[in-house]
Amino acid sequence: MNTALYAVTRTLRALFVVWAAFTLTFAALRLLPGDPVALMLSGRGGFAGLTPEQIARTRAELGFDRPLITQYGSALADAVHGDFGASLQSGQPVSRMIADAIPSTLQIGGLAVVLALVLGILIGVAANLTASPVLRQLLRSIPSFAVSLPSFWVGLILIQLLSFQWHLFPSLGNSGVQSLILPACTMAIPGCALVAQVLGKSLHTTLQEPYADTVRATGAGRARLLFGHGLRNAAIPAVTVVGLLVGSLIGGAVVVETVFSRPGMGRITQSAVSAQDLPVVQGVVVVAALAFAVVNLLIDLVYPVLDPRIRSTGQLVTA
């Protein structure tokens, strides 16, 4: 498979992921119990004083009286042009709400991904570089322990220690670079554990390959074998984890932004789900799916650089 065909195939797959996310979200939201129009009106004074004709008119203005297939086609066409409609609760354009919320989430999410990668790589490499069996086992146990910690609990512990007791960082709000540290660390811990676990296991497997014995026979030390040969060959599984980290960004932001009282995608997602604000939920899911698809597309395009055999097969080569 040539490089151009490989890239086209992966691009089409990314577009399919975004379309599938939109379609499944549209269907799931319409199957939820409750009436979004009723929820909207209850937030604006309820049904009191409204006649059935006025309620029906509101439903028609929002397009909820049309057949589902018509609603779907119209919503999909608008979404392609970046229009997700208006919030049922606030009346603001969903695209503007998301555009206003994204920068704050990207700040903590971007820093969290960087921290997760740096710390995860350090732990994974150190676990395979050290000659001490005790230290090696301790480093390999850290990811399993860290991934089991609930994010909200980690956030509360960091606030208690680093904010209330030691006064190193602000506990709440969005007041500069210092306010990013605790939320980013909270979000980074599960990702760090995942990177360390995957990379550590991949390095361990790679260093058992026959070529590693050949390199050792030349007199190469463990560090030269690991950094000169093993790390690149073990990188593909770890690179794949980056896509998983981006995919979990919105879910992590919901918890972290709530704990630290920060504005962002997580907060508007939580509010939209609680109020059954269909356009906002739809917009957030599509944007998250688009980010996930783009990052994974870039990762797919990096694979052939790490392993040239993928260029000819179009598939990951594991042996």
**Tens digit of pLDDT at every position of the chain (319 positions):** 567 787 888 889 989 999 999 999 999 888 877 667 766 666 554 444 566 777 778 778 777 788 889 989 999 999 999 899 888 888 899 999 999 999 888 888 888 988 988 998 899 888 888 878 888 888 888 888 888 888 888 888 999 999 898 888 888 777 778 888 999 999 888 888 888 888 888 888 887 777 777 777 777 777 777 777 777 777 777 777 777 777 777 777 888 888 888 888 888 988 888 888 888 999 999 998 898 888 888 888 877 776 666 555 555 444 3
- Is 201:224 a contact under the CB 8 Å cutoff? no
pLDDT score of 318:
41
Position 291 in a domain: no
Position 303 in a domain: no
Report how far residue 264's alpha carbon sits from residue 260's, in angstroms, rounded to the nearest whole number: 11
Position 141 in a domain: yes
Report how far residue 307's alpha carbon sits from residue 315's, in angstroms, rounded to the nearest whole number: 10
Report how far residue 282's alpha carbon sits from residue 251's, in angstroms, rounded to the nearest whole number: 15
Which of 38, 59, 35, 60 shows the shortest CA–CA distance to 47? 38
Position 257 in a domain: yes
Which of 202, 283, 217 shows the shortest CA–CA distance to 250? 283
Task: Give me the number of domains the chain comprises.
Answer: 1
The reported pTM is 0.77
Position 34 in a domain: no
Strand-pairing partners, residue 86, are 93
Print the domain residue range for 205.
94-275
Residue partners of 134: CB distance under 8 A and separation at least 6: none
Position 225 in a domain: yes
Phi, psi of 141 (to 5 degrees): -85, -20
The alpha carbon torsion through 165, 167, 168, 172 (nearest 10 deg) reads 100
Task: Give the CATH number for residue 197.
Answer: 1.10.3720.10
Phi, psi of 179 (to 5 degrees): -75, -10
Position 203 in a domain: yes
